[in-house]
Structure 1
Amino acid sequence: MNGKAIGRVAAGALALAMLAGCAGERGGSAAVPASGGDAQPSVAAGGQGQEMFGTLPSPCGKGDAKGVTDQGVTDTSIAIGFGDDRGFPKAPGLSKEMGDAVSTMIKWCNAQGGINGRQIVGHQYDAAYMQSVTVMQKACKQDFMLVGEGFAMDDAAEQYRVACNLPVVAGYTVGPNAAMGPMKFEPVPYPVDYYNAAPLNLAAKTFPEFKDDVDLVMSDSPAVITGSNKIKAAMKELGISPKDCGVQLATQGDPSYVPFAEKFKSCGVKALWTSKTPDPAMFSLLEALDRVGVKPTMVFEATWYSQAVAKWNTNGQGDTIHAGLIFEPFENADKVPAVKEYLDLVNAEGGKTALLGMQATSAFLLWATAAKDCGSDLTRQCMVNTLSQVHDWTGGGLHAPTDPGANMPSDCTLMVKLTGSTYKQVAPATIGEFDCDKGNVLKTDPSTWGTKLNEDRIATTFLTPNVIKPQV
């Protein structure tokens, strides 16, 4: 996945206009209820026998839904498409956790009876980075909807999706047209026109040095440049002044990283932020900083919450790394039933687990909840109508409250710190809580959007008069 994909997938942009859940207009926190015991497939309080996913009553179960109501829907089944880029030869297994999560959730749901009695038939796709158009053309011919997928080159396929009126509850989107497309919903939206500055705000509140002695690790990657420019603009609005030391890493690598470390040292940097993903260049820079005796507080994107980073940090050179997340970290599984449920279900199927997997899981649950509400009248129009009205969503507690129906970013975050090979939530202090503030959501400069939006905040690039619009 390219830098742009990872930057949008993970956290600098993490998701949406929170309504209920954030306690108070400012400075509130959204608590995820603590587990009352075993978080294996559980039953609701009161002994009603209701299957749960964390705090969410399962949308799956038996029923008597009938009718061939739309493409992919019969009396007995619902065909959905899902998938990832796992076959990309330069990064085999890329995003594998997304397909693994959705296939697991299909099995989990069908074991309960499907959706109102209709069994889910999953068509799994591998876009392999460069095959998103081929995948979309196949999905257009056979699927009711796409659910929980993530394709790095989704913008290339967007014109085909829009043309065939294929709604999607995406695991994530990357391209601006896909992120702002019609008939598109995400459990954790990353719109181009608003930005969740909660991680920056929380870092400034937690670390005094982050306000006046911080700088960004830049790169010559266009994606990182774009992301960094957005961060700089957000910092300016928040009263944070980067030192602009002039360090820019080369995408293809640099001969030595010690000069960069020395530059940060002479510049007086005490804190660092970067939109770069964990890669050999960044690891080399952090090792060089340690070598010259500089140990800045590092607050990075959510992609730095990673086993690859934990495995690299054998010498403790990353012990000042912090990452802002909108998802509950796996280390909170004993306190957050939904996280334990996700891990238990996917591990039982031998799948790969990661934050993107939880993102795909939340997407499936969002889709399934709307599909249940549509009952026998399971049409694309009903799904668009129903999903557009979902304004308070946590995936059963997998993440902070979000607003998929409005396609707005979150105003929440929590912070984890790496020590050795272990991550731990350090802010807010109470495990399972998020730091939320409506003021964290900032408007972005239209010059950074990468697409033109209409009055409904929908990308106009591939828009047709025939797209399915909410009728509510």
Structure 2
Amino acid sequence: MKVEKIGRLAAGALAVTLLASCASSRSGTDTTSGGGGTRDGGTTGAAASATSFGTLPSPCGKGDAKGSTDQGVTDGEIRIGFGDDRGFTSAPGLSKEMGDAVSAMIDWCNQQGGINGRTIKGDQYDAAYTQSVKVVQQACKQDFMLVGQGFAMDDAAEQYRVGCKLPTVAGYTVGPNAAMGPMKFEAVPYPVDMMNIGALRIAEKQFPDFKGKTDVLHSTSPAVETGSGKVAAAMNSIGVKPMDCGIKLNDAGESSYMPFAQKIKKCGAQYLWTSDSPDPGQFSLLETIDRAGVKPTYLFEATWYSTLVSQWNKAGIGNNINVGMIFQPFENAAKVPAVKQYMDIVNAHHGKVALLGMQATSAFLLWAQAAKTCGSQLTRQCMVNELAKVHEWTGGGLHAPTDPGANKPASCALMVRLNGTKFEQVFPKNVGEFECGGDFVVKTDPKTWGTSLNGDRTSTKFLTGDVIKPQSS
């Protein structure tokens, strides 16, 4: 099972993209642990005196908030749930960077005094791909909210989250009902009815013959094909007609990729787009294309921005890989303080540094800012009210501006290119900047949504009459 976006990876996507054709017999995989205190030496002493995260004033600090205002909230504590699918037996460590990031950020915040003086207690869950229902049911019993989590099978648990009126600031969502659910906010939204096509817009500017010489690589994976279909539709909407070279790869791998390389050569495609994720089969395809003497330019999803890809490219075969992103790449850390700060905080915890970790970090900061504003009146209703007001969010500079309150994606992007074993920003030219435009977001075909939306753009599948809705003050 695969999806097309880092937000849904990533950006939901990473958790799911790594699960292609896998199944698990694991049972009883959820665990809980405290997020307070320090671990493995904790964060540096500077956390206690932190006044900002990148460009964002720190939402953490001392205070005198009081009251047992809602489930999981007392005079001295706020209890939140977070986690990922790290215990999936077929891919151990899956998306662990999300839990690592939130755990580190909880400690970072608590060392400053918590939220208005209340210590944050974190219940860390492992949904292990197949156990999302179980962990959400557990969170329903004890947590104030879910924060920064990413569960690949979140749609299976969505009815339980909605049923117990558990709000969330998710790290990412995957299923369409989870992505468009009530009481759900994301620092980096990927709604089913809108799509950021910034990478396509940048490609138009970068490559003059892009419109007439581009094709989309297809797959037998239904999830990848859903992503490919959305991209192809977006291409058509801006005047890019895929060449239809007839490339459809078996998701389980091919005995030989040479016939596909020959098709590409005969077809004359100079630009290739894939919604698939990097794996041995994809690497074999690129290596075979190179052996066939074909030198296309690759336009790939943000899942290709990874050390897996950069380390594979020691021979330079992937030097034409271009990746569109809405996050600042780690290579820009010297110019983007928020990126360096994220890396320093997680590294101090001996956690895994990755794009999904930055996404979870942004979600935590969004949640913490709203919680600070609520003060002693820290209720789920107040949180929904405050989160719905946030219409420009960058996580302190971790990513392009998004609209969490309206569940709308970024209208900006940047492009990085692989050069040897390193990625570097190639567009815009100024490192740390994004290219933005009113035409960077397009509406998608309702046939691709996978759910029905009401007038508020909320999924109706599990919607009840008593969900928590934003109230104006």
The one-letter code of the counterpart of 1:406 is A
The one-letter code of the counterpart of 2:262 is E
Question: Displacement of 1:41 after TM fit?
Answer: 8.8
> Do the aligned partners of 1:42 and 1:53 also contact (CA within 8 Å) in 2?
no
Pick closer, same or farther for the CA change 1:343–1:418 going to 2, 3 Å: same
> Do the aligned partners of 1:42 and 1:51 also contact (CA within 8 Å) in 2?
no
Pick closer, same or farther for the CA change 1:3–1:443 going to 2, 3 Å: closer
Question: Displacement of 1:280 after TM fit?
Answer: 1.2
Question: Displacement of 1:438 after TM fit?
Answer: 1.5
- Counterparts of 1:101-250 in structure 2, within 5 Å, are 101-250=101-250
Question: Displacement of 1:11 after TM fit?
Answer: 6.3
Tell me what 2:371 maps to: 371
Tell me what 2:18 maps to: none
Point out where structure 1 has 5 or more consecutive residues left out of the alignment.
15-39, 44-48
1:169 and 1:357 map into 2 onto residues whose CA distance is 14
2:11 and 2:91 map into 1 onto residues whose CA distance is 21
1:81 and 1:369 map into 2 onto residues whose CA distance is 17
Paired residue secondary structure (1:308) = helix
Paired residue secondary structure (2:434) = strand
Tell me what 1:328 maps to: 328
2:174 and 2:12 map into 1 onto residues whose CA distance is 13
The one-letter code of the counterpart of 2:437 is D
> Do the aligned partners of 1:159 and 1:462 also contact (CA within 8 Å) in 2?
yes
Question: Displacement of 1:8 after TM fit?
Answer: 2.6
2:68 and 2:282 map into 1 onto residues whose CA distance is 53
Tell me what 1:343 maps to: 343
2:408 and 2:62 map into 1 onto residues whose CA distance is 34
Paired residue secondary structure (2:82) = strand
1:169 and 1:249 map into 2 onto residues whose CA distance is 36
Superposed CA offset, 1:24-71 (max 9, x none): xxxxxxxxxxxxxxxx9989xxxxx76110111100000000000000
Paired residue secondary structure (1:226) = helix
Where relative contact order (Cα < 8 A, 6+ residues apart) is larger, the structure is 1
Question: Displacement of 1:255 after TM fit?
Answer: 1.1
Paired residue secondary structure (1:230) = helix
Paired residue secondary structure (1:151) = coil
Paired residue secondary structure (2:303) = helix
Q: Does 1:362 align with 2:350?
A: no
1:292 and 1:366 map into 2 onto residues whose CA distance is 49
Question: Displacement of 1:2 after TM fit?
Answer: 3.7
- Counterparts of 1:316-465 in structure 2, within 5 Å, are 316-465=316-465
Superposed CA offset, 1:369-419 (max 9, x none): 000000000000000000000001100000011110000111110000001
2:278 and 2:372 map into 1 onto residues whose CA distance is 40
Paired residue secondary structure (1:59) = coil
Superposed CA offset, 1:174-197 (max 9, x none): 000000000000000000001111
> Do the aligned partners of 2:213 and 2:268 also contact (CA within 8 Å) in 1?
yes
2:132 and 2:433 map into 1 onto residues whose CA distance is 37
Paired residue secondary structure (1:185) = strand
1:10 and 1:186 map into 2 onto residues whose CA distance is 11
> Do the aligned partners of 1:7 and 1:275 also contact (CA within 8 Å) in 2?
no
Paired residue secondary structure (1:426) = strand
Pick closer, same or farther for the CA change 1:361–1:57 going to 2, 3 Å: same
Tell me what 2:271 maps to: 271
Pick closer, same or farther for the CA change 1:287–1:215 going to 2, 3 Å: same
1:308 and 1:229 map into 2 onto residues whose CA distance is 26
Point out where structure 2 has 5 or more consecutive residues left out of the alignment.
15-43
Tell me what 2:86 maps to: 86
Tell me what 2:24 maps to: none
Question: Displacement of 1:140 after TM fit?
Answer: 0.2
Question: Displacement of 1:125 after TM fit?
Answer: 0.2
Tell me what 1:28 maps to: none
Paired residue secondary structure (2:353) = coil
Tell me what 1:254 maps to: 254
Paired residue secondary structure (1:433) = coil
> Do the aligned partners of 1:394 and 1:401 also contact (CA within 8 Å) in 2?
yes
TM-score normalised by the chain length of structure 2: 0.91
2:165 and 2:318 map into 1 onto residues whose CA distance is 47
2:341 and 2:197 map into 1 onto residues whose CA distance is 29
Paired residue secondary structure (2:439) = helix
Superposed CA offset, 1:250-284 (max 9, x none): 01111100110000000001011000000111111
The one-letter code of the counterpart of 2:256 is S
Question: Displacement of 1:211 after TM fit?
Answer: 1.3
Superposed CA offset, 1:145-187 (max 9, x none): 0000000000000000000000000000000000000000000
1:332 and 1:452 map into 2 onto residues whose CA distance is 40
Number of equivalences: 442
Pick closer, same or farther for the CA change 1:91–1:408 going to 2, 3 Å: same
Superposed CA offset, 1:213-248 (max 9, x none): 010111010001111111011001111111000100
> Do the aligned partners of 1:12 and 1:301 also contact (CA within 8 Å) in 2?
no
> Do the aligned partners of 1:451 and 1:459 also contact (CA within 8 Å) in 2?
yes
The one-letter code of the counterpart of 1:296 is P
Percent identical residues: 68
Paired residue secondary structure (1:233) = helix
1:258 and 1:140 map into 2 onto residues whose CA distance is 52
Paired residue secondary structure (1:192) = coil
The one-letter code of the counterpart of 1:197 is I
2:96 and 2:254 map into 1 onto residues whose CA distance is 30
Superposed CA offset, 1:91-129 (max 9, x none): 100000000000000000000000000000000000000
Paired residue secondary structure (1:8) = coil
TM-score normalised by the chain length of structure 1: 0.91
Pick closer, same or farther for the CA change 1:419–1:11 going to 2, 3 Å: farther
Pick closer, same or farther for the CA change 1:12–1:65 going to 2, 3 Å: closer
2:409 and 2:122 map into 1 onto residues whose CA distance is 29
Tell me what 1:71 maps to: 71
Pick closer, same or farther for the CA change 1:307–1:13 going to 2, 3 Å: closer
Pick closer, same or farther for the CA change 1:348–1:421 going to 2, 3 Å: same
1:206 and 1:455 map into 2 onto residues whose CA distance is 38
The one-letter code of the counterpart of 2:90 is K
> Do the aligned partners of 2:414 and 2:434 also contact (CA within 8 Å) in 1?
yes
The one-letter code of the counterpart of 2:326 is I
2:348 and 2:187 map into 1 onto residues whose CA distance is 24
2:397 and 2:310 map into 1 onto residues whose CA distance is 25
